[in-house]
Amino acid sequence: MAELVTDLLASLNPEQRDAVEHFEGPLLVLAGAGSGKTRVLTTRIAHLIHEFGVDPGSILAVTFTNKAAGEMRHRVRSLLGREPAGMWIGTFHSIGARLLRRHAHLVGWSPSFTIYDADASLAGIRRTMERLGISEKRWHPKSVRAAISDAKNLLVDPSTYEEMAHDVFSRTVAKVYTPYQASLREQNAFDFDDLLVKPVELLRAHDQLLASYRRRFQFVLVDEYQDTNHAQDAFVELLAREHGNLMVVGDDDQSIYGWRGADVSNILEFDHRFPGTRLIRLEQNYRSSRRILEAANAVIAENVRRKGKTLRTESDDGERLTLVETADERDEADWITSEIELRLSHDPELAPREFVLLYRTNAQSRELERALVERGLPYRIVGGTRFYERREIMDVLAYLRLISNPLDAQAFDRIVNYPRRGIGDVAQQRLRDWATDQGLSLLDAARRGRQIPAMTGAAGAALERFAASIDGFRARAAEQEAGQLLEQLVADVGILVALAEEGPEAEDRVENVRELVAGAYQFDDRLPELRELEDLPADASPLDLFLQEISLITDIDRHDPAANAVTLMTLHTAKGLEFPIVFIAGLEDGLFPLARAYDEPEALEEERRLFYVGITRAEQKVYLTHARARRRMGERIDCIPSSFLEPIPHQLLERRQTTQLERQSRAFDWWDGRRPTRRRSVRRETDPVASSEDGFLVDYSDSQDPPRLVKGERVRHPAFGPGTIRELSGFGTDLKAVIEFDQVGRKKVKVRYANLQKEY
């Protein structure tokens, strides 16, 4: 093993080796795209253990996806020639869940808690709003949930949020926040944000516990640090501030999750918050050709708020980037798929898996899917309907959740009459009312079904049988493995029989349930090793741990690079992946970057970072496509090329037009769906999107560009008077605003017709 580590050190470039050999004290590694950061992280862990004799149990390594955590453990194991037993490697959420399983009683929960995903959390918000009489039409539950999520990630508790609420929307959120959190406690459940927040609360409230974990984790390493939010950063600082042996690895140029709470200032200001920080830049790229990197460097150099670095490579020049102008989204999709087909036919060594189609919004996938289907090209979408979000899977998991956690009211509601057992809506409402009056959980109340006033004898008996069945499986769960328990549950409850009666989709649904059972058995096979290596709580049942694992699976964990199919995904989902050939579609102002980004400098910089991420996914070739027109919400919108294309040097680009656009251009330069309009040429020689032959572009000065509005801005309507913008949706001529008017309350207006004036 010593020879293996020594050989690996010798293979590192100077900057990588500096990062690996760093021992004590804070270390900030700015790792450019494709610079081998995972190699540096894992080699450093092996070096700490082998060279400095650090106990693996003293190391905590945190990353953002289960896939990355698994890869990290595998590489460390290979370097050491043995398991790094006792070392904690995982995502922030999985490590938070592990801490809470061990110490849930200290925050008022039990170790068998349920983890609510986004859908379950949203359902809880809806129920809370319904109980409070808050209208969903006026206050959308998703907006309320997003506000509560933001508050949690900023470590703002319900009482503090209530004190800070100074407008109508935030005061409404404050009314929901407290009872929503109370409902989670009543159901012994945490939402995803709680997995980040509660560990911080736990450590802050219990000094001895914090001291014990600080003593244990003498070396803390954090991957993708640019994506941390306030709660995650606070958790890391709590553990590492005292000893200072904190290594953070990230790329400020790839910080793209500000919309969900990530704070790029965490990495930008790290060296100020941790005096004595050693800063190392990894700028040698091992993924992309030189032209791709030069384009990426030119794009990201436009950003102001960054530490600054320049990617370099020893690879050859490679192909130029191809910039393609298309007529509309259908033409765009047809051209992309025809190009894939052409490349596959010309190069027999190419396979569909080597192509990825990236887009800014999920809605763009529709036309791309249509074109792929028509050409018979295999494809898979990452970020579509997840396996665990399928209705039949959620039904089965609800059974498992209620068996694991009898206080889970959402799970109870979902399955109490599935498959049908004669407990209708009226009976369920009587059960809920009586349970509330008696201060009982729904399952406790069901155990006394025939005691409930006005409950029919048949429904009461059915409730008692249902409760007895859950209790029976709960007793088995303490002794049985997850696979055996799940197989018996599916058979005893009659789920497969119920699904088989549903018609054309029955077979697929039945197979999905069987796949879930198979997955549970696979988990059981891995569980002994997981308990030993990951230091899992000994008293947690296989069922509890199985539910925890699947609740933390993300879209990116489901990406299978071996699947021989073209991959479709959003640019956000693509982060951390790489492909030989990359298409980035929809490069038009208003779509990428999104229109609202122009109102906030930081938002525009984040959109540009997203484009940089897209370019740097490519190893060999990048295609950039934009359309002259695109349908949005059923209306055809004239488009102009994205401003993000402008910094790319001319010599790096090959410009092309689709055949359809060339045909149109022979007579006309524009087609608006009703009548052609003659070309009105405007000389713009400095524009990199202009044709190098004639330097001419269409004049878009009469396009319907929406007024630049921003959420929270004050405006005046000619009829409704002054008000505050609460929500913005849509694009272009379909842009809509929800405005809280001072005199007439909340209204939803279409901006193009509203004649809004900004109040300065």
Q: Are 735 and 751 in contact (CB under 8 A)?
A: yes
Least confident of 138-142, 280-284, 685-689: 685-689
For residue 379, give the H/E element and its range.
Answer: strand 379-381
Q: Does residue 754 or residue 25 have the better pLDDT?
A: 25
Q: What is the pLDDT of residue 473?
A: 94
Q: Does residue 735 or residue 610 have the better pLDDT?
A: 610
Model confidence at 673, pLDDT cuts 50, 70, 90, reads very low
Q: Is the pLDDT of residue 669 over 80?
A: no
Q: Is the pLDDT of residue 4 over 50?
A: yes
Q: Is the pLDDT of residue 692 over 60?
A: no
Model confidence at 695, pLDDT cuts 50, 70, 90, reads very low
Residues 495-518 have pLDDT tens digits of: 988 888 776 667 778 878 888 888
Q: Does residue 641 or residue 522 have the better pLDDT?
A: 641
Least confident of 162-171, 212-221, 523-532, 627-636: 627-636
Model confidence at 706, pLDDT cuts 50, 70, 90, reads very low
Calpha distance 106→648 (Å, rounded): 55
Calpha distance 734→736 (Å, rounded): 6
Q: What is the pLDDT of residue 283?
A: 94
Calpha distance 376→466 (Å, rounded): 48
Model confidence at 157, pLDDT cuts 50, 70, 90, reads very high
Calpha distance 500→571 (Å, rounded): 38
Q: What is the pLDDT of residue 358?
A: 96
Q: What is the pLDDT of residue 291?
A: 97
The 3-class SS string of 439-485 reads CCCHHHHHCCHHHCCCCCHHHHHHHHHHHHHHHHHHHHHCCCCHHHH
Catalytic: 223?
A: yes
Q: Are 292 and 33 in contact (CB under 8 A)?
A: no
What type of residue sits at position 155? Answer: L
352 φ/ψ angles, rounded to the nearest 5 degrees: -55, -30
Q: What is the pLDDT of residue 300?
A: 96
User: What is the residue-wise DSSP string for 577-604?
Assistant: --EEEEEE---BTBBTTBGGGGG-HHHH
Please identify which of the residues 117, 193, 194, 223 carries the catalytic annotation.
223
Q: Does residue 622 or residue 557 have the better pLDDT?
A: 622
Q: Does residue 446 or residue 759 have the better pLDDT?
A: 446
Q: Does residue 631 or residue 520 have the better pLDDT?
A: 520
Please identify which of the residues 617, 621, 632, 655 carries the catalytic annotation.
617
**Which two structure tokens, joined as six digits, stand for 570?**
């959003």
Q: Which residues pair with 758 in a beta bridge?
A: 715
Q: What is the mean pLDDT of residues 228-245?
A: 94
Q: What is the pLDDT of residue 334?
A: 94
Please identify which of the residues 18, 21, 38, 456 carries the catalytic annotation.
38
Q: Express as a percent the part of the chain with pLDDT over 70.
A: 89
Q: What is the pLDDT of residue 528?
A: 81
Q: What is the pLDDT of residue 560?
A: 61
Q: Does residue 229 or residue 748 have the better pLDDT?
A: 229
Residues 54-65 have pLDDT tens digits of: 999 999 999 988
Closest residue by Cα to residue 46 from 83, 93, 97, 99: 83
Calpha distance 658→324 (Å, rounded): 7
Strands 246-250 and 278-282 come out as: unpaired
Please identify which of the residues 17, 37, 401, 655 carries the catalytic annotation.
37
Q: Is the pLDDT of residue 702 over 60?
A: no
Model confidence at 530, pLDDT cuts 50, 70, 90, reads confident
Q: What is the pLDDT of residue 440?
A: 93
Please identify which of the residues 254, 337, 657, 658 carries the catalytic annotation.
254
Q: What is the mean pLDDT of residues 697-711?
A: 45
Catalytic: 313?
A: no
Catalytic: 224?
A: yes
Q: What is the mean pLDDT of residues 552-580?
A: 79
Catalytic: 38?
A: yes
Q: What is the pLDDT of residue 559?
A: 53
Mean pLDDT of the chain: 86
Closest residue by Cα to residue 274 from 59, 28, 30: 28
Q: What is the mean pLDDT of residues 116-140?
A: 90
Q: What is the mean pLDDT of residues 317-345?
A: 94
Q: Is the pLDDT of residue 594 over 90?
A: no
- Chain position carrying tokens 């979000």: 389
Please identify which of the residues 224, 339, 392, 544 carries the catalytic annotation.
224
Residues 259-270 have pLDDT tens digits of: 888 999 999 999
Q: What is the pLDDT of residue 733?
A: 65
